[in-house]
Structure 1
């Protein structure tokens, strides 16, 4: 069935469905059984989260990095008022505790050889192979309570809609927010086909909004018509990056002083060229020291590396050749803000 026919069917269904007023209202609840940090490696797409996450794994008792889409979907559904606060909080807690438990026995662990999140591309593959044969049950819960392993997961745009995560995990929440030069981020998104793939590619596992008879990505909420009117995929990507970054900073600035201390900003360029200062920050941030595996993790991540300015200039020229004058100005503003923010963070 084609996309247009599916959309027609959805519209028809929405006009015929009626709300069941007899459904009893219930309150969902899941307590937090564990108190150790819950770490989100967050950022918009193409900011370098996959570089950082395996390096974080080299710190004491930090679990392997993983991408679990429900950690993105649940806060988005709540933001769009499709689920209640109690449901979102309970589901986030359940997701974290389920995935942590499964990690401790290598259940639902990625053993694909070529995947970035696969065990064999991590720095502790033997740990997860051994766990395949470990007992399950209460002994695993006791181990978690005793050893306090840290769960980490990659997320997208969470800082911009952070409230539900603070509700779910409170003082245990730690958000490491990746910042990347806008030219690199915009170019990377364009290379991945964003701006044209979102509504018709079965390999894009993200939510869309039905706006009239058109599908737009979830992050277009509130500016759907502007997104649809963009002249090119490059313009869509530039505006997408601008909106998501704006929401991210607005979300951060809405936090209390105490909550802001639960957010650590790491700039890709700074970390990739000189990781030591940021490694020290991460140690203090999550309360875990580095291990002898840090060097291995840095080497696998090609850190430190040289970032060539001429390569970024080529990317910028390519973007400028495909973008409207309006969006070129938006990109220039993003670059200026990025440079000011990074200078403020790093000094």
Structure 2
């Protein structure tokens, strides 16, 4: 360590005072909540940039939650990361051209823009380009909200946050499969979020609250506990931080896919932009609006995550019962089945029971 730092550590702060970022939208939620669908639609809006993933920001926020990093350091690192992503995206250095990926430029309505940027002048011309175009960075994040305080404190009004929620029974299969995959050889090696070592054993940060029982639980039971904890911690965070999360909206998946227009208007207002000429086409490809919540599109990634086409002639309630049967088939203990039922009841009471459609 430098001698000056040793002598003056308390007086030194990590700083990032000048920024390139104009605005950034983060679309957050649990696995299986429907973020992928919403990301495709948001990416079609005017000024919104191609989908990126914010693993670095997620891990920085987790480190702060664990008290492993100082406030000035985490906030400066988030600012640097945002500016770096924006700078590189404006030259297509950070654009994914892998055709089969959901985040591929070839799945984006602005694909020609990203191809053209490969051949345009960049570097020192980029800051002026950003000032002129006022692009909106676009990120998909996973279970970020409960630990997102550093994000809101560092970016302030520049951060726009969309929380996607969904009926627990529509998420349980994918989350159970995720925990099954984590148990495979190299399963955790493909996960790039922070793990914790407790008593010489590694567990995901998201499983911290039940670390003592983690290795005793079935994958479906871990999924139910994580779902319960994330829902509780998200609501707690919103209540305790209402002053700093003014640019946050919550979108229930069921409501959105059946009656999307009010939410498209809300998102446009939040981002201070408008739907483009391509937005309706993207919605059509995503089967929005739809007559039934489960009427999704048969993408391979959805199938790998447990999606199956809806059964004809069964109603929304029967679709949910089918998913609850999966939990029973996984031999979940009655305690966890009851916990899932309570989560479902709470969700329906808050987001569904007063709507025009029924389940």
The bucket for the TM-score relative to the shorter chain is 0.7 to 0.9
Unaligned residue ranges in structure 2 (runs of 5+):
295-315
Q: Quote how far apart the aligned CAs of 1:166 are.
A: 1.4
Equivalent positions of 1:14-53 (< 5 A) are: 25=9, 26-34=12-20, 36-53=22-39
Q: Quote how far apart the aligned CAs of 1:156 are.
A: 1.7
Is 1:317 matched with 2:302? no
Q: Quote how far apart the aligned CAs of 1:255 are.
A: 1.8
Equivalent positions of 1:131-150 (< 5 A) are: 131-150=117-136
Is 1:304 matched with 2:313? no
2: CA distance, partners of 1:85 / 1:344 = 42
Distance change (3 Å), C-alpha of 1:222 and 1:237: closer
| 1:152 corresponding residue in structure 2 | 138
| 2:274 corresponding residue in structure 1 | 289
| 2:346 corresponding residue in structure 1 | 337
Is 1:99 matched with 2:85? yes
| 1:207 corresponding residue in structure 2 | 194
Is 1:252 matched with 2:238? yes
Q: Quote how far apart the aligned CAs of 1:260 are.
A: 4.2
| 1:261 corresponding residue in structure 2 | 246
Contact 2:179–2:223 (Cα < 8 Å) also in 1: no
Is 1:174 matched with 2:160? yes
Match of 2:147 among 155, 161, 164: 161
Match of 1:126 among 86, 108, 112: 112
2: CA distance, partners of 1:211 / 1:147 = 48
Q: Quote how far apart the aligned CAs of 1:345 are.
A: 9.7
Q: Quote how far apart the aligned CAs of 1:195 are.
A: 7.5
Contact 1:30–1:93 (Cα < 8 Å) also in 2: yes
Distance change (3 Å), C-alpha of 1:243 and 1:296: same
| 1:3 corresponding residue in structure 2 | none
1: CA distance, partners of 2:132 / 2:81 = 21
Distance change (3 Å), C-alpha of 1:285 and 1:344: farther
| 1:220 corresponding residue in structure 2 | 207
Q: Quote how far apart the aligned CAs of 1:301 are.
A: 2.3
Q: Quote how far apart the aligned CAs of 1:118 are.
A: 0.7
Distance change (3 Å), C-alpha of 1:148 and 1:199: farther
Q: TM-score, normalised by structure 1?
A: 0.87
Distance change (3 Å), C-alpha of 1:86 and 1:199: farther
Farther-moved stretch of structure 1 (221-230 vs 88-97): 221-230
Contact 1:175–1:263 (Cα < 8 Å) also in 2: yes
2: CA distance, partners of 1:120 / 1:244 = 33
Farther-moved stretch of structure 1 (145-154 vs 200-209): 200-209
Q: Quote how far apart the aligned CAs of 1:36 are.
A: 3.0
2: CA distance, partners of 1:264 / 1:183 = 22
Contact 2:259–2:289 (Cα < 8 Å) also in 1: yes
Distance change (3 Å), C-alpha of 1:280 and 1:40: same
Distance change (3 Å), C-alpha of 1:61 and 1:111: same
Unaligned residue ranges in structure 1 (runs of 5+):
1-20
Equivalent positions of 1:43-122 (< 5 A) are: 43-122=29-108
Distance change (3 Å), C-alpha of 1:44 and 1:166: same
* Secondary structure, aligned partner of 2:320: helix
Note the alpha carbon deviations across 1:203-230, whole angstroms, 9 max, x for none. Answer: 2222211110211111223431133332
